[in-house]
Amino acid sequence: MVTSRFLSGKGEMAGRFRDFDWVATPLGAPSTWPRALKTLVGLMLASRQPMFLAWGEQGTMLYNDAYCGLLQSKHPSAFGHPFREVWAEIWSEIEPLVLQVFDGESVHFDDITLYVERNGTMAEAHFAFSYTPVYDDTGTVTGLFCACNETTDQILAERAATDALQAAEEANIAKSQFLANMSHELRTPLSAIIGYAEMIIEEAEDGAAPADLARDVAKIESNARHLLSLINDVLDLSKVESGKMDIYAETFDVAEIVRDVAATAQRLVEKKNNRLELRLAGAVGTLHSDVTKLRQILLNLLSNAAKFTQDGTITLGVERRAEAMVFTVHDTGIGMTAEQLERLFQRFQQADASTTRKYGGTGLGLALTKAFSAMLGGEVSVTSEAGRGSTFTLTLPFAVPEPAPEEAELEAQVPVVPDVDPAKVVLVIDDDTAQRELMTRFLAREGFSTVTAADGATGLTLAKELRPRAILLDVMMPGIDGWTVLGRLKADPDLASIPVVMVTFVSERGLASSLGAADYVDKPVRWERFREVMDRFREDVGDVLVVDDDPDARERVRSSLERDGWTVVEAANGQEALDRVAAAPPRVILLDLTMPVMDGFSFLHALRSRPSDRDIPVIVLSARDLTAAERVRLESASHVMTKGEVSLKEVAANVRAVTDGPG
């Protein structure tokens, strides 16, 4: 065994250096190594930063413990082997850099992207490194020294965050455009309804006969139906996005439904002097599907064709093939370019902004068509050419896929729970991998431990097992959505006290509050705002919890109590106080009564309804002039004191009276 002093360090690689048979290698016995090599090996073994040496003509790889993690499955076979063999898959990319070093130049990269083989797979990896030439006594470059770090996780997380932000910004722009379009679309029929109604009232007051009013009433009805269809589109989309849209499957005759749809669309088609043709390819038979959604899909496609066709032909065709039922809607209208086709099925968008100005519409019809098609187990596609019309093709299975049994929603993945202190852990429930990673990284930076779940069922299982300090919960998730998870958490007595923060794109702050959420954070997350929310759940443990919305009052009480040896935690309202108690129960609570969000009466009632917190002494300290009924509501308080009538010394004395003194 080699016992050279520069190899006397601790750690795995120091041991490997000592045990390796160097005599059989070009480097020879360590005692014969040049001073530069000994110095750099000693430096490597003492450093926590990943480092390696490629020494001599063979480029023999020597590295430290920190570099083992970067090598992953390449370790330990890389040790003592040529640099070019260890990283053979990227050698063509890094060889020019190595040659620069052996020409006497240093090479530095803050970020380089390489596709490397580790653990049996090729994957994108990012590195920051410096290559430095090492000289022998004659001034000749005899080795390459590298200090490096792998930045793959950071780069990919930043890229995911950028992509998510861009997607969110594009979605916000699309929704803004949609709202502008929808505002116009809703106002148009509504203005007509109001205008014709005013005319009818005036004409009726002038004695007009009912028959003379019929035409205006018909226009009111027509515009009201159009307005209803617009509202239904928005409501349908809302149901689809929240996962609340149900499928009602039944067996029906396809030809009968198609003829009925054609008859319904006939007047719409004729408005622009178009002709509707129906083509049934033989006996098409039956389908077992949702007939209402199929009707809506076909009507959406026919309406779309009629809107963009003038003096032309619209054809509705049906064909029963061996594997599926195929519906086609062909028109001879304006058609679309390849660029317009890319945006066609996106929600809140039409093929072109000018389309909205010229032809009207909300941009929801085809988005709903695509969503309904997927719900029925099928798909919708389109072929089109500018100036030559469009053909939409809907393909449906003969029977709609049966939904999973209700119980299947409750089956969670078996979670692997790390060894963490539940009092310090935050549970993140979100189906988006990138969002979970971003949350985990941010929380780790803020000092929190994190456990994640990719669906609601797993999240509920983890909540029961861990009893975490707080839960971050997304709304839009497959299976069990966030609202259902929140409801089940608050319905479980063992879990109801855990603070839940909704983190979502869905704008339902009122609903979140009514269901018991502690707070609400919009996506894309503004991290400064998120930090303020999470600061409420830090592990602040105190003898006394002071609950008052007046910061000056809290400060005065805190100063007085801390002089007497108490530790103090503050809360600005009842809801915040409940979160504080859930995180770390105090020995005594000083409670104001008049506060925003949740007042002192409500806080006291909520506190006493929790079995674990029922016996915490509560001293009421308020300037409120209490009625007899209010005093009855405060019977569970240990003392009721009036601000201005008692000194801070008396407050401290009462705190001492209900406890055994400062901890």
Q: Which domains does the chain have, with CATH numbers?
A: 5-150 (3.30.450.20), 159-242 (1.10.287.130), 250-396 (3.30.565.10), 406-533 (3.40.50.2300), 544-657 (3.40.50.2300)
Contact 6, 42 (CB under 8 A): yes
Q: What is the 3-state secondary structure (H, E, C) of 14-46?
A: HHHHHHCCHHHCCCCCHHHCCHHHHHHHHHHHH
Cα separation, 71 vs 63, whole angstroms? 10
Cβ atoms < 10 Å from Cβ of 81 = 15
Phi-psi region of 116 (alpha: psi -120 to 50; beta: other; left: phi over 0): beta
Cβ burial of 625 (10 Å; 0-12, 13-18, 19+) is exposed
DSSP 233: H
Coil, strand or helix: which one is 331?
A: strand
Q: What's the confidence (pLDDT) of residue 542?
A: 63
Identify the helix (H) or strand (E) that includes residue 128. Answer: strand 121-135
For the chain, list residues with pLDDT below 70: 1-4, 174-185, 188, 226, 229-230, 232-245, 343, 345-365, 402-424, 446-447, 505-514, 524, 535-542, 644, 660-663
Which tokens belong to 273? Answer: 């002097």
| CA dihedral of residues 532, 536, 539, 544 (deg, nearest 10) | 130
DSSP 137: T
Give the gyration radius of the chain's Cα atoms: 36
Nearest to 525 by CA among 448, 472, 480, 485: 472
Cα separation, 465 vs 444, whole angstroms? 21
Q: What's the confidence (pLDDT) of residue 660?
A: 63
The model carries a pTM of 0.36
Longest dimension (CA), the chain: 120
Cα separation, 524 vs 227, whole angstroms? 33
Nearest to 114 by CA among 148, 141, 140: 148
The sheet with strand 275-281 has its strands ordered as: 275-281, 313-320, 325-331, 390-396, 379-384
Q: What's the confidence (pLDDT) of residue 511?
A: 66
Coil, strand or helix: which one is 501?
A: strand
Query: What letters, b where the CB count within 10 A reaches 16 and e where it falls short, cover 37-66?
Result: bbebbbebbeeeebbbbbbeebbbbbbbbb
